[in-house]
Amino acid sequence: MKAVLNGRDTGAAAFQGLDRDALIAVHRCMLLSRRLDDKEIQLKGQSQIFFQISGAGHEAVLVAAALSLKPGYDWFFPYYRDRALCLQLGMTPLDMLLAAVGAKDDPNSGGRQMPSHWGSPSLNIVSGSSPTGTQVLHAVGAADAGVIYKRVAQIPERAQRFHPDEVVYVSLGEGATSEGEFWESLNLVCGRQLPVLFLVEDNGYAISVPVEVQTAGGDISRLVRSFPGLHVDSIDGTDFFSSLRAMRDAVAYVRARKGPAFVHARVIRPYSHSLSDDEKLYKPPAEREAEARRDPIPRFAEFLRKNGLATDQDLAALRADVDREIEQATAKALAAPKPPKSTAELWVYSPTVDPASSAFDTPAAPEGKPDTMVAAINRTLKDEMARDPRIVVFGEDVADASKQDALPLVPGKGGVFKLTHGLQRLYGDDRVFNAPLAEASIVGRAIGMAVRKLKPVVEIQFFDYIWPAMMQIRDELSMMRYRSGNTWSCPIVIRVPIGGYLRGGGPYHSQSGESIFAHCPGIRVVYPSTAVDAAGLLRTAIRCDDPVLFLEHKHLYRQTYNKGEYPGKDFMIPFGRSSMRRDGDDVLVVTWGALVQRSLVAAHQAEKDHISVAVLDLRTIVPYDWNAIAAHVRRVNRVVIAHEDQLMCGFGAEIAARIAGELFEHLDAPVRRVGALNAPVAYCPDLEEAILPQTSDVLKAIRETARY
Ligand SMILES: Cc1ncc(C[n+]2csc(CCOP(=O)(O)OP(=O)(O)O)c2C)c(N)n1
């Protein structure tokens, strides 16, 4: 299209292929973004909304990014500053203002998240959170998913789930590049040459911390240039045309599968960090004035004017039109109903698939000789992977051998405890692979894969090393469904060897801590004590629609007392259903994990004192079988709760408090708890024995409770 205005060539060729209408639309989108920030600031001042964070100063590069990408085709993991990107992709001012007022019909989060935490399934904008770096690993996982869909031909309808030239966009601030997850993600995308486009929006400050304090040398693009295959560009992100050129180059590089790309855009932040911050406290006036001169919106207006593309009147009319649109959206948002208080717990878990329901109660079809928990879990994984080609298994050392040419020559590793042995050989390296030694990235990538409907079943090698992944588990995995108003979910399974009694495991190979994860709404916590239970509960974990932490006690892996026949390809045990391992009338022991066997032995010994002891194995911690506990407390009236974890803040405290609160009149003795000392698990076996609860401790508690 060619147009001439005031004697100038305003055709598309002059301005990187954008004609006058397109350029006016660029300006309109930037202005819409800025004026929405202004409107929200006004509404916050009137207490009509409750939080505001702006995208001001970032608009030019964000509109350029959106124009270079395809909504609903590419994948987006935007930062909270990305208002202009989301508008250009197709979100509306109403979509944004509904979030600001916390409306029931807020499409981003149903009133669960602060505004500017974007999400839209139709546009492939995946729900973002507030932690400043977690999203980069989700982007890696989303890019992994595209590769897996491309390569694993058995996945049904995979053609609808990916595009061979799709791009995964992720953005962050220069401050967020200091997070370890950022470096983990760069290592991964460059290692696997994944189609990820990073945009670092560098406004010079992370709240009040300037970039030179944040980043060695003050220039993030300089630091990342040595990553192999990474296309790196550094631009003035307030200049729309530099931005458009850079974003198009980067997108073309990634689409052509030449590798990942990284654009470092220097922008400004004229409205302080958020409405809770005042940059005058730390930014001198001269610096603020210099920034103001770079403001992308007046600069783009000036460009339009200078090139005869718009007159002052045109620009005034455009501004009036933008304000009119915002006023209309504001009126609708303010009138929109808020979520009813009765829905506060909705979407913590899947509202449609209940793993505690009878749908997950399927009969066993035992076969073969009794075998260990290791064999049961390994076989369950094999059978489930055969049933569902969307299942991918990764973690540290889980593959048989990463080197292709080594595989035919060696027996294969298959995990430090051999739980995943043979899976790679059976299902190939696209579905079973080793991950770098970086736990946050194991969980973060799995989340990115799961939002694209793969089913990751990942391994954290030892419970003691789950902590680098804690941010991903507590702030991402557990909250994805809730915070997105049930529009996104990430039902992954994290298998974790846990626990002590190893005689020599020491403080870093013996930890417990299930209560910490029971404290994360949104995650199911499973803790089997027998081979058959492990098979049935793992299958439920894989087939249900919630994230599951599947705790496997290392000491129970290869015992003889908990062996069982493999219960068949379809055997499932619903969550929240305990197992009465031994009945009795005098004392009830509520327990799980390694304390089940110790409690059974203690119960047997208590018989000599004519104390009849029931042992109830909870099997799952979230949900836990309160109905069974309550029924047996009403019958037996004396309770001991025994677990391996430290007594202090162990999960037994929760159960004891509930029994005291709801069943007090049924108790003939105080509820006693047995657990570890409040100390790390020491290496020397004598110390370990003193620290972890032993059969004798359970027996003592049983006797005292019986005698009370
Ligand atoms: C993990 C984490 N730590 C701290 C915060 C609090 N916080 C919110 S934004 C922010 C600064 C982020 O700076 P930057 O990444 O440069 O982005 P900008 O806000 O400047 O666009 C901080 C420290 C957070 N949200 N998440």
The tens digit of pLDDT for each residue in 212-257 reads 999 999 999 999 999 999 999 999 999 999 999 999 999 999 999 9
Element (H, E) at 426: helix 423-427
Q: Is the CB of 205 under 6 A from ligand 1?
A: yes
Distance in Å, CA 52 to ligand 1 centroid = 14
pLDDT at 342: 98
pLDDT tens-place string over residues 521-570: 999 999 999 999 999 999 999 999 999 999 999 999 999 999 999 999 99
Distance in Å, CA 61 to ligand 1 centroid = 19
Distance in Å, CA 206 to ligand 1 centroid = 6
DSSP category for residue 391: E
Q: How far apart are CA 566 and CA 569, in angstroms?
A: 9
Q: Is the CB of 154 under 6 A from ligand 1?
A: no
Label residue 14 by pLDDT band (50, 70, 90): confident
CA distances from 79 to 194, 229, 297, 517 (A): 20, 24, 20, 27
Q: Are 635 and 584 in contact (CB under 8 A)?
A: no
Q: Are 704 and 607 in contact (CB under 8 A)?
A: no
Q: Is the CB of 57 under 6 A from ligand 1?
A: no
Q: Is the CB of 128 under 6 A from ligand 1?
A: no
Label residue 678 by pLDDT band (50, 70, 90): very high
Of all protein residues, the one whose alpha carbon is nearest to atom 2 of ligand 1 is 131
pLDDT at 4: 46
Distance in Å, CA 490 to ligand 1 centroid = 24
pLDDT tens-place string over residues 690-699: 999 999 999 9
Listed as own residue / partner, the contacts of 662-670 with beta carbons closer than 8 Å and 24 or more positions apart are 662/630, 663/630, 663/633, 663/634, 666/633, 666/634, 666/637, 667/633, 667/637, 667/638, 667/639, 668/637, 668/638, 668/708, 669/637, 669/638, 669/639, 669/705, 669/706, 669/708, 670/705, 670/708
Of all protein residues, the one whose alpha carbon is nearest to atom 12 of ligand 1 is 206
Distance in Å, CA 327 to ligand 1 centroid = 30
Q: Is 519 a catalytic residue?
A: no
Once rounded to an integer, what is the mean pLDDT over residues 150-172?
A: 97
Share of the chain above pLDDT 70, in %: 98
Amino acid symbol at 222? R
Q: Is the CB of 474 under 6 A from ligand 1?
A: no
Of all protein residues, the one whose alpha carbon is nearest to atom 21 of ligand 1 is 173
Helical segments of 256-311, H only: 285-293, 296-306
pLDDT at 10: 55
In ligand 1, the atom with minimum distance to the C-alpha of 174 is 16
Q: Is the CB of 175 under 6 A from ligand 1?
A: yes
pTM greater than 0.85: yes
Q: Are 577 and 523 in contact (CB under 8 A)?
A: no
pLDDT at 356: 98
Residue 114: name the closest of 133, 128, 124 by CA. 128
Label residue 3 by pLDDT band (50, 70, 90): very low
pLDDT tens-place string over residues 56-92: 999 999 999 999 999 999 999 999 999 999 999 999 9
Catalytic residue among 117, 273, 421, 509: 509
Distance in Å, CA 478 to ligand 1 centroid = 21
Share of the chain above pLDDT 90, in %: 98
Q: Is the CB of 379 under 6 A from ligand 1?
A: no
pLDDT at 12: 66
